[in-house]
Chains A and B, each alone.
Chain A
């Protein structure tokens, strides 16, 4: 952790960041149990469920893959949906790079734990040293706990019997709304969500499973071209009281 380029982090500050990061890691890691159970209920076997957590390691993408697969979608539609959802990690990386300043093999290793939570716990830090403590504690902590929890959930889910009688199909919808919720703060996102949901539902009866969700990505593409501010309302400062 302490290369010559890393500014030293005072022990007290480091302890505080580690404590905060571990709290996030434990809370997030724990819900790997629900992914594990949902994974085996959706058609992955125990090993495939664990491989998903190890290799993809992006919660929303993993739930999405399980959801598409469980609904009868083709495995490759599931992969495409997961990858589209993972595209936000690219932006996280762009924002983190100048702050973390990892190079070479360390960058290659760090990349795997660029996720929502590790970004959130490092992006607001004052300097590279503090950012790295937050990023690594959160990222590595979640990686370990998420994978352990996935294994536990998958093994338990495998022994449950009919997943529907435990409402595991309904749990997937619950996971998606909980992931979506914090992103619905502004108007544009709300509009995007409503249009995408409506488009997907209208396509369900007419296209193969998995396709409605991919088609809904088009809503994000189209709305992305709409400028943030509505086109200038004619300036009429004279009328202002």
Chain B
């Protein structure tokens, strides 16, 4: 099932790229289409942050939780405000959660 998902997503993302290079540009000149494509990554990334940081559980049920990941997100935001590069932001988010868990201060 995971392999199917990877192949479907790989084929789909290639076709999106190829379509962009091949289709007449006026198809997407409509401002609504342009805005939706522009807003899509914002909506998805914001939702992914919410779920990744504040959801706990497994395939059978999820709930909201506040734990070491929230602290990791907070540190990431501070790092971004200080204009840290991508990789440093990711490492700091991980290190924050790892240290809190090592100290036993957060799950």
Contacts and interface: CB of A to CB of B under 8 A. Distances in A.
A73 B3 CA distance: 15
Secondary structure of the A side of the interface?
A: helix
A134 interface: no
Contact of A221 (B13, B36, B48, B68): B36
A61 B35 CA distance: 19
A90 interface: yes
Interface in A191-236: 192-201, 204-205, 208-209, 212-213, 215-221, 223-225, 227-228
Contacts of A10: none
A119 B1 CA distance: 32
A167 B96 contact: yes
Contact of A192 (B42, B59, B85): B42
B2 A60 contact: no
B62 A204 contact: yes
Interface of A: 27, 30-31, 33-34, 43-44, 48, 51-52, 54-58, 60-61, 63-65, 67-76, 78-79, 81-98, 100, 102, 107-108, 110-112, 114, 164-181, 183-184, 188-189, 192-201, 204-205, 208-209, 212-213, 215-221, 223-225, 227-228
16 contacts: A48-B2, A76-B8, A82-B13, A88-B37, A91-B37, A94-B21, A165-B101, A169-B97, A180-B49, A192-B39, A199-B47, A201-B50, A209-B51, A217-B44, A225-B35, A228-B31
